[in-house]
Amino acid sequence: MSNLILATLFLVLGSASSMAVEEATYTSIFSDENFETRYYDPQILAEIEVDGDFEGAGSKAFSQLFAYISGENTSQKKIKMTAPVAQTNGSEMLNRTTPVSQQQKNGKWLVSFMMPSGLSLEELPQPKNPTINLRQLPARHVASIRYSGFWTEKDYLYHLNLLNKWISSQVLHASGAPIWARYNAPYMPWFMRRNEILVPIKKP
C-alpha cells in the first residue's frame, strides 16, 4: 500500500515538473568531480522518526509528512506541489521544496521535508500529527557526493564509502551522521536521477 501511495503522490508531483521548484540553497566551497564541500544557511525542517529498513522508511514516513503539507495542520494550509520529489481546503498555500532527506538516528530513521524559505518557525502551521516535528536546522558545512542510480541501500552504502574516503583524503572531519537526499520521482529513469549523500563536517 505504501508503494502505491508513493507512486501516486510522485505522479502528481511530476505533473508539475515544469514549474519552478525551490531547492535547498548552498554555497559551493570546493568541487572535485562528484564530490563537493558546501555551506548551507539555516533551514526549517518538518521531520518524523520511523522504524523500518533503509528502503522502507521513506515510504512509511512519506504519507504522514504528505498529510501535514496537504492541510493536516492547525491552519489547514496546503503546500503547493511543484517539486518532483515531495517528501506536500485552505486558502493559503506554501511552496514545496526539495530534496527529501533521510537520516539514521538510534536505530530509526529521520525523514524530513525542507520548508520554504521566507517563513519563520513561528509562521509555519503546527502539525496535527504529534509525531511530526518542526525544527530549525542551523547553518552548517557538509561534504557531499552526487550520484545517479537506484534508491537501494547497496547503492547508498557504496557511495557513502566513496564519500568517507574522499573526506579523509581532504583531511576533513565529520561532525554528524550522513544524510541521504533524493530529488526525483520514482518513475524517473535510474540513470537520470539525482541522489546525494551529505555528511556534516567541521568548518574547513
Which carries the bigger pLDDT value, residue 130 or residue 9?
130
> In this predicted model, what pLDDT tens digit does every residue of 3-27 receive, in sequence order?
433 433 343 344 334 345 567 789 9
In b/e form, how buried is each residue of 28-53, taking b as 16+ CB within 10 angstroms?
eeeeeeebbbbebeebbbbbbbbeee
The reported pLDDT for the residue numbered 199 is 93
The reported pLDDT for the residue numbered 158 is 96
Q: Which numeric CATH code is attached to 2-201?
A: 3.20.80.10
The reported pLDDT for the residue numbered 144 is 97
As given in the structure block, the three cell numbers for residue 148 are 545517479
Which carries the bigger pLDDT value, residue 178 or residue 14?
178
pTM comes to: 0.78
H-type alpha helices, 22-85: 54-69
CA-CA-CA-CA dihedral for 93, 133, 110, 63, to nearest 10: -50
The CB-side HSE value for 71 (13 A sphere, CA atoms) comes to 8
Which carries the bigger pLDDT value, residue 204 or residue 13?
204
Q: What is the DSSP letter of 188?
A: S
Report in angstroms the alpha-carbon separations of 26 from 84, 133, 160, 167.
20, 23, 21, 19
3-class DSSP state of 72: coil
Task: Flag whether pLDDT at 122 surpasses 70.
Answer: yes
Which carries the bigger pLDDT value, residue 105 or residue 96?
105
- Range from 10-19, 38-47, 147-156, 170-179 carrying the lowest mean pLDDT: 10-19
Q: How is the chain split into domains, by residue range? A: 2-201
